């Protein structure tokens, strides 16, 4: 072959290469998704330079594994087989050393593993070229291609040079993909960690209550959690029905799937169907796009419908269909959408009375009331009150960086005599307020809300005058001073900033035995 012919061939290849590189740069400008750009990048290489298969393999820095991220000319099954360790085979060696490698004939190269099994073609020889993909000085993967083996003195070094340029062009896309996968893995790990935290938090064993009524409720929660049964949680407002719903979900087989809460009482009638079942674009004024409802969002997991007794008759009909058919239709749509959700509902209403009034469907009631759980009000579980109070003291002391240690005797008396119409929620609010007001590591009676100290709200039948209130406060302060000073009258008087004589008179007036506070001395 003459020198002129060789030069002509060389220039034609250069022109092809420049054209290819320009095309690849345009492709990468428009899209950086490796799986989408690999075919558009390798197709022109195959057409113009005779390359057949091509793969982009990425290094997982955490595991040390190298796997095919994107490929051209390989089946899905073949791609899944392409896994290597650093230093293993040709690809692993290139990733390890950062140096390109040329295999003129793969049949003659023992280090070529052909893990994918894609080169088992008889009577045809194949060359293999693999170059590193680098981000700065770091090798993050490899770019390899096959081409038909030629004995004609084909300079494979030209291919290496071209592929190295292409590898540098796609390195940014590879880095983005790698970063995206690492972030995705971090999110998955964080999600798993949070799921485990929630599961631990909502274990029935971690729920507070030693009363017989609560122990019975905990037993029911443990029994129903692993099942798929529909649960109806009943109890007054503030008893902890949502906490029970969480406990059931996070101890079920659906624990890693969504838990979606809907407060039926908080949603206006005009939007509740759209919220529950979703809507199609243009279904009503303001429906600018298709939107999934809560049932679709909960697919695979649990939906918790709180205040179920507040649903309108129309919504009750649609909910009944969901329970019967396990399918929904979006507002404004005609397509039936199958859903796989567990339904937990809660109410503070007497649904049996609502059925008699005609405001709640009897057939829906029986669908919901498969496994009822009753949560007792606070007034029926007074033995749990101090356990809950101590828990809330610790919670809000930590939250507000305070050192509240205990509750005074008079404050305990008020807590125990109050009838708690707001149940556990009211107790929590009460303790939070008291912790904020406390200045001496103790919650006193005067730190508690007025509602606990008024005769009517406490249902005690007492009618306290101003003078009696002042005397009660004085008695509490004297007792607390004696307690903190272990019955030492002099120290207690100094703490209260009064003389020992006045202290003695007050102790005598109120019949306080200071000696009983010396028992721990």
pLDDT digits (tens, 9 = 90+) for 38-49: 778 777 777 766
Do 307 and 443 belong to one domain? no
| The predicted structure's pLDDT at residue 478 | 86
Domain C-terminal end among 376, 393, 412? 376
Residue 220 lies in a domain: yes
Do 40 and 166 belong to one domain? yes
Maximum separation of any 2 CA atoms in the chain, in Å? 128
Residue 418 exposed, middle or buried by CB count within 10 Å (0-12, 13-18, 19+): buried
Residue 481 lies in a domain: yes
Digit-coded pLDDT (tens) for 121-140: 555 678 888 999 988 888 98
For 296, the domain range is: 212-376
Residue 338 lies in a domain: yes
Do 17 and 141 belong to one domain? yes
Domain C-terminal end among 331, 358, 376? 376
| The predicted structure's pLDDT at residue 296 | 93
User: 95 Cβ partners below 8 Å, 6+ apart?
Assistant: 57, 59, 66, 84, 86, 87, 132, 139, 141, 142
The ranges of the chain with pLDDT < 70 are 1-10, 13, 32, 34-35, 48-49, 115-124, 149-155, 178, 191-192, 195-206, 454-466, 469, 519-521
Residue 195 lies in a domain: no
| The predicted structure's pLDDT at residue 458 | 42
Do 147 and 254 belong to one domain? no
Number of structural domains, the chain?
A: 4
| The predicted structure's pLDDT at residue 249 | 94
Name the strands in the sheet holding 342-347, side by side, starting at the edge strand that comes first in the sequence: 259-263, 302-306, 342-347, 231-234, 371-374
Digit-coded pLDDT (tens) for 369-379: 999 999 999 99
Do 406 and 448 belong to one domain? yes
Do 415 and 506 belong to one domain? no
Do 175 and 271 belong to one domain? no
Residue 205 lies in a domain: no
CATH number, domain of 493, equals 1.10.10
User: 48 Cβ partners below 8 Å, 6+ apart?
Assistant: 16, 19, 20
282: region left, alpha or beta (phi > 0 left; psi from -120 to 50 alpha): left
| The predicted structure's pLDDT at residue 280 | 87
pTM score > 0.85 for this model? no
Do 423 and 345 belong to one domain? no
| The predicted structure's pLDDT at residue 153 | 47
Do 52 and 33 belong to one domain? yes
Do 277 and 414 belong to one domain? no
Domain C-terminal end among 419, 447, 463? 463
């Amino acid at each position: 072959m003459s020198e002129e012919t060789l030069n002509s061939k060389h220039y034609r290849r250069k022109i092809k290469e420049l054209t290819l590189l320009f095309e690849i740069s345009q492709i990468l400008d428009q899209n950086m998704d490796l799986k989408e750009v690999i075919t558009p990048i390798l197709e022109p290489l195959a057409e113009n330079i005779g390359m057949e298969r091509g793969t982009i393999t990425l290094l997982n820095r955490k595991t040390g594994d190298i796997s095919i991220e994107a490929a051209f000319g390989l089946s899905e099954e073949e791609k899944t087989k392409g896994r290597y360790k650093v230093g293993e085979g040709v690809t692993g060696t290139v990733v390890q050393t950062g140096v390109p490698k040329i295999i003129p004939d793969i049949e003659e190269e023992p280090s070529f593993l052909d893990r994918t099994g894609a080169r088992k073609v008889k009577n045809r020889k194949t060359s293999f070229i693999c170059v590193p993909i680098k981000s700065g000085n770091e090798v993050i993967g490899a770019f390899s291609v096959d081409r038909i083996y030629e004995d004609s003195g084909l300079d494979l070094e030209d291919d290496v040079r071209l592929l190295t340029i292409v590898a540098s062009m796609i390195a940014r896309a590879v880095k983005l993909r790698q970063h995206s996968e690492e972030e995705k893995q971090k999110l998955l790990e964080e999600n798993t960690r949070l799921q485990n935290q929630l599961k631990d938090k909502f274990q029935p064993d971690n729920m507070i209550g030693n009363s017989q009524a609560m122990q019975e409720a905990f037993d029911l929660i443990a029994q129903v959690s692993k099942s798929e049964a529909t649960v109806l949680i009943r109890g007054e407002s503030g008893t902890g029905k949502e906490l029970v719903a969480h406990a059931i979900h996070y101890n079920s087989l659906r624990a890693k799937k969504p838990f979606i809460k809907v407060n039926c009482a908080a949603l206006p009638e005009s939007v509740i169907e759209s919220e529950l079942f979703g809507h199609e674009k243009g279904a009503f004024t303001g429906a600018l796009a298709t939107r999934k409802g809560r049932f679709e969002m909960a697919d695979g997991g649990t939906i918790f419908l709180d205040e179920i007794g507040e649903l309108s008759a129309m919504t009750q009909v649609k909910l009944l269909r969901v329970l019967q058919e396990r399918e929904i239709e979006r507002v404004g749509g005609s397509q039936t959408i199958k859903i796989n959700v567990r339904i937990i509902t809660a109410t503070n209403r007497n649904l049996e009375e609502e059925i008699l009034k005609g405001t709640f469907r009897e057939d829906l009631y029986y669908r919901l009331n498969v496994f009822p759980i009753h949560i007792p009000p606070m007034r029926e579980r007074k033995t749990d009150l101090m356990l809950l109070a101590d828990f809330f003291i610790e919670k809000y002391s930590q939250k507000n960086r305070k050192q509240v240690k205990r509750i005074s005797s008079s404050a305990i008396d008020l807590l125990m005599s109050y009838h708690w119409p707001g149940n556990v929620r009211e107790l929590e609010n009460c303790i939070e307020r008291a912790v904020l007001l406390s200045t001496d590591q103790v919650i006193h009676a005067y730190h508690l809300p007025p509602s606990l100290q008024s005769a009517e709200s406490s249902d005690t039948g007492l009618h306290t005058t101003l003078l009696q209130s002042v005397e009660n406060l004085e008695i509490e302060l004297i007792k607390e001073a004696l307690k903190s000073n272990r019955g030492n009258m002099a120290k207690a008087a100094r703490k209260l900033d009064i003389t020992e004589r006045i202290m003695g008179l007050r102790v005598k007036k109120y019949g306080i035995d200071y000696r009983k506070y010396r028992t721990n001395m």
